[in-house]
Chains A and B, each alone.
Chain A
Amino acid sequence: MVYLTRKAEFAASHYYHNPEFTAEENRRVFGKCNNPNGHGHNYTLEVTVKGEVDPRSGFVVDLRQLKEVLNREVLDAMDHRFLNKEVPEFYTRIPTTENLAITIWQRLVSKLPKAKLHRVRVYETPDLFVDFYGEA
């Protein structure tokens, strides 16, 4: 089994707010991130796939196809967007780094050519990242 990781970057804005919380509760739980006008990050995404190396091509996955899926499912949808307002999953789900990793996994998992998705890692900043392995 060989693991291959592809990196991508996107810039997006977001804010944290739960409509079921009071305004005071939202401020207490989410702090600065509750600012309704949003704020932004340069996100770094690492997608790791695993599989056996194809004896004919020497590839675990065709990188061009992987890039196409990443571009279509993640970058076109999220790069230079306001996540809460422009990405349907985040109309209801709070766009934390945890939920970004889960959402990106869900967008990719059934669309990948051949190789199996192993891990989605999302860096919100260089000192904060979340890993999701598809665990329930």
Chain B
Amino acid sequence: MKAYLTRRYMFSASHRLHSGAMPDEENAVIYGKCNNPYGHGHNYAIEVTVSGPVDESTGMVCNLADLDGFVRHAVLDRFDRQNLNMLAEFAAMVPTTEALSAVIYDILQRGFSHAHLEKVRIEETMMNSFEYAGGAEMRR
């Protein structure tokens, strides 16, 4: 039987929203406070949803130790306490949380093989969240 498992992780990072493709005044208008040149930070909460048949011998979609290990190594160790603008992924991309969701989705999609990746959801603050499921329709 197919089930969907969601695991939530936290990391803290800073960023600045600024696009080299726009003049400074336009950046200031579009990004507002988020364009402050020194950057600012958030406590990000990531929810990773994976799916698959529940293995009868373990009762699991995938072993949580495998998912936790992968996310710790491939995401948290790389993003936690960092300035997102300095990371290779954001060399040519504004580190909005929209972009961050897609970046983290792609990392999992490429590297995590123990279950099917459904979606990545990120809360930037308690007031806003973003979801990315690649090209797939999102299960509600």
A residues whose Cβ falls under 8 Å from a Cβ of B: 16, 18, 20-21, 29-31, 93-99, 101-102, 126-133, 135-136
Contacts and interface: CB of A to CB of B under 8 A. Distances in A.
Given A102-B1, A135-B1, A135-B2, A20 B57 contact: yes
Interface string B54-84: 1001111101110000000000000000000
Contact of A96 (B1, B2, B4, B58): B58
B50 to A, nearest CB: 10
A128 B4 contact: no
Nearest to A119: B140
12 contacts: A20-B57, A21-B57, A30-B58, A31-B65, A93-B59, A94-B59, A96-B59, A127-B8, A127-B9, A130-B4, A130-B61, A135-B1
B59 A98 contact: yes
A98 B9 contact: no
Contact of B8 (A98, A128, A132): A128
B57 A132 contact: no
A128 B64 CA distance: 10
B61 to A, nearest CB: 6
Task: Indicate the size class of the contact surface on chain B.
Answer: 10 to 19
Contacts of A93: 59
Given A31-B65, A102-B54, A130 B5 contact: yes
A131 B61 CA distance: 11
Contacts of A132: 1, 3-4
A124 to B, nearest CB: 10
B36 to A, nearest CB: 31
